[in-house]
Amino acid sequence: MSSTDCERWVALSDQAAIGQEVSERDQAWLAQHARGCTDCGREATFYASLRDAVGRPEMLVVPSPAARPTVRRSPMRIAMLATVALAASVAIVAGLARNRGGRTVTPTAVQAPPLAARLLFASGSARLGAGPAQAGQAVAHGERFATSDGLACMAIASSITVCLDAMSAATVALADPKQAIVYLERGRLLARLDHQPAGRTLLVRTAQAEVQAVGTRFSVGISDDGQTQVRLHEGKVTVRAANHVASDLAAPVQARVGDDIRVASMPATASKDDDLLSDLSTLPRTETRAIARIASIPAGADVSFDNVVMGKTPVSTVLAADAHVRLAMAGYVPVSEWISVADGATIERSFVLTGLAAPAEQPDRPTRADRGAPSPLPSRLLAMAQALRARGAYDACAQIYRRLWSEFPGSEESKVSMISLGELELGKRNHPVAALEAFSAYLRVGGTLEREARYGRIRALRAVGRDREADAESATFLRDYPTSIQSATLRRQVHER
């Protein structure tokens, strides 16, 4: 983000803060910039929590010195922050004065300790504060956790789980034992609550909305236009818009919150978009026996525990019982292992993934003795195809891929060849019909590259003009792989259409 954009954000947010009219277009830009700019996004969160702190200073979420904005703020902004801070102080002093005004001073009640929170799971490049996120880490009041290519879940007070989707960030307020607050800056989260003790609630706040729950399961996301999407799967919540309009929701239902609250029934496809985070939210909060840390060489392998997708390596997670872990990555042989847990143990596993075997040097011309030799191994054929592709011999490369498919059906090399052939036909050879056939052939057999094959088939359908089928398969893909890189691309394409 440029300093000019940040200065514009400061000026517009100052206008909004003092009640001056800001156009809908500028409001949308303000929300978009705050999501993309770390400095301005943290200031927006800090300013919102400062407003909440009037009379309740324990709710204040103060950025760390390293996270404070580097852009020079206007005198107006400094004055407004000082005014709100002064109001909070006055409220505290007024409360003390009321206590001491009478002849008898009521003893101050013992302050309950803040809510405790810790990470249950983290994958990919998830961060907690300034460092990498690891399962088992304590989460402090005001601490920020964020994801890029990975996912993360935390437990609050042993009865609340909050899971963060990829490309998301949130800050937590834990000082009030009666109320946990999660400030969602960008992306999406899912919360699962057991029945809470009397008086305790969870608030999820965005720039546009507030969702209050006592015991339920729901997701909150920020769309590209800055509006807040709420999906309620179980229980009840109260949703409030920025203009203080409120609506009580009962599952199953969804709502879109901007200038107003628009409530609608929740289609089955929308409900399934949250399945991955819902699965992760069932991780044990209290019966943890061990922590498993899984790495791979190369990094970025897809990891699942007992068929629950956990994201890409590195992965760390709490475990309550023995589990089966599996790693898969395109171009490598999948690996799996049974992990036995011991109370209090930290189990570390690093898997070196084996790539497809490199071919031995082949002579330019076969000798007389070689003429009756059996066909090359599938790994050698695949390597030959890759060499041809590297030289730009795309027609010959395509022939080798098809030969692999016909001579070694069911082998991992033949399956990989169909994905590679589809990409080659869709790109360099510009034969979308042939690409569609290749991706469809892979899907008929199935394998660890199903996601890549489905994504390729959607693109091929678009290329041949079968948009209706492409739309239907895109919706199913987004449901099944909501956090994948391909899903982010598909959502962006839908938004641009």
3-state secondary structure 190-217: EEEECCCCCCCEEEEECCCEEEEEEEEE
Residue 102 to residue 161: CA distance in whole angstroms: 44
Residue 36 and residue 135 in one domain: no
Q: Is residue 245 part of a domain?
A: yes
Residue 341 to residue 323: CA distance in whole angstroms: 8
Contact at 8 Å (CB) between 329 and 298?
Answer: yes
pLDDT single digits (tens) 176-235: 999 999 999 999 999 999 988 888 999 999 998 999 998 899 999 999 888 999 999 999
Residue 151 and residue 259 in one domain: yes
Residue 264 and residue 129 in one domain: yes
Q: Give me the residue label for tokens 């109001």.
A: 87
What is the reported pLDDT for 318?
Answer: 92
What range defines the domain where residue 242 resides? 117-280
What is the reported pLDDT for 19?
Answer: 59
**Which amino acid is it at 339?**
I
Residue 314 and residue 270 in one domain: no
What is the reported pLDDT for 46?
Answer: 58
Residue 184 to residue 221: CA distance in whole angstroms: 8
CB atoms within 10 A of CB 198: 6
Q: Which residue numbers in the chain have pLDDT < 50? A: 51-72, 76, 82, 84-86, 88-108, 358-374
Residue 253 and residue 136 in one domain: yes
Residue 153 and residue 76 in one domain: no
Token couple for 71: 């852009």
Residue 273 and residue 130 in one domain: yes
**Which amino acid is it at 81?**
L
Residue 276 and residue 383 in one domain: no
Q: What is the DSSP letter of 59?
A: G
Residue 122 and residue 236 in one domain: yes
Show which of 63, 97, 131 is a domain's final residue.
97
CATH for 244: 2.60.120.1440
Number of domains in the chain: 4
